[in-house]
């Protein structure tokens, strides 16, 4: 993978390939013929979906095993706090100490211990700014992850299957 293709500053972006199934929408037989003639259609009459089953955690289950097997209770609480507070289409989060203390009722040292464990699990990485962290978008993302990867690391989207569907 060519590192020059990575546009995002997020250190996790480009560290994985997102497998996608592209489904072309067919409106009539003429549209189907036109699509069959073109090797790669430039039309936007398609939609993409991630290739893995939504019920499957991830192909690499290390993160899930670590969270379920070795994460401290406050690390799990902080993880679910991040899940609930992560803004749409953002690959970073500001973990304000006072907000977390108020909502989770944990001390500052406990919060930093939980953050350190999430860093060890490769969910978080420090970003410029106080208490601001990059999110590993392979493990957690709120929004259209396919669009995010196409914009920030175009070489990291692999269309593994193309199919046609009549509307």
> Could you list the residue range(s) of the whole structural domain that residue 156 is in?
3-56+149-166
Residue with tokens 């944990």: 106
Whether residue 155 lies inside any domain: the answer is yes
pLDDT band, residue 160 (cuts 50/70/90): confident
| Interval 67-72 mean pLDDT | 90
Residues 6+ apart with CB under 8 A from 113: 72, 74, 75
Residue 160: φ, ψ to 5°: -90, -15
More confidently predicted of 77 and 6:
77
How many domains does one find in the chain? 2
Q: For residues 157 and 20, is the Cβ–Cβ distance under 8 A?
A: yes
How many Cα atoms within 13 Å fall on the side-chain side of residue 99?
Answer: 9
* Whether residue 72 sits in one domain with residue 47: no
Question: Does one domain contain both 82 and 106?
Answer: yes
φ, ψ (nearest 5 deg) of residue 31: -65, -40
In the block, which residue shows the tokens 């669009």?
A: 147
**Same-domain status, 95 and 116:** yes
Q: pLDDT per residue over 82-112, tens digit each?
A: 999 999 999 999 999 999 999 999 999 999 9
């Amino acid at each position: 993978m060519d590192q020059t293709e990575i546009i995002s500053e997020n250190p996790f972006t480009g560290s994985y390939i997102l497998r996608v199934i592209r489904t072309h929408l067919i409106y009539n037989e003429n549209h189907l013929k036109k699509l069959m003639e073109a090797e790669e259609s430039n039309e936007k009459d398609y939609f993409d979906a991630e290739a893995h089953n939504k019920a499957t955690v991830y192909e690499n289950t290390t993160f899930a095993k670590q969270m379920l097997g070795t994460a401290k209770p406050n690390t799990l609480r902080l993880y679910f706090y991040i899940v609930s507070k992560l803004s749409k289409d953002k690959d970073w989060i500001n973990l304000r100490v006072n907000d977390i203390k108020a909502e989770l009722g944990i001390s500052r040292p406990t919060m930093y211990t939980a953050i350190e464990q999430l860093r060890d699990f490769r969910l978080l990485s420090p970003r410029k700014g106080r208490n601001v962290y990059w999110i590993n978008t392979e493990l957690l993302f709120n929004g259209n992850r396919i669009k995010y990867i196409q914009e920030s690391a175009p070489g990291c989207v692999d269309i593994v299957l193309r199919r046609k569907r009549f509307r």
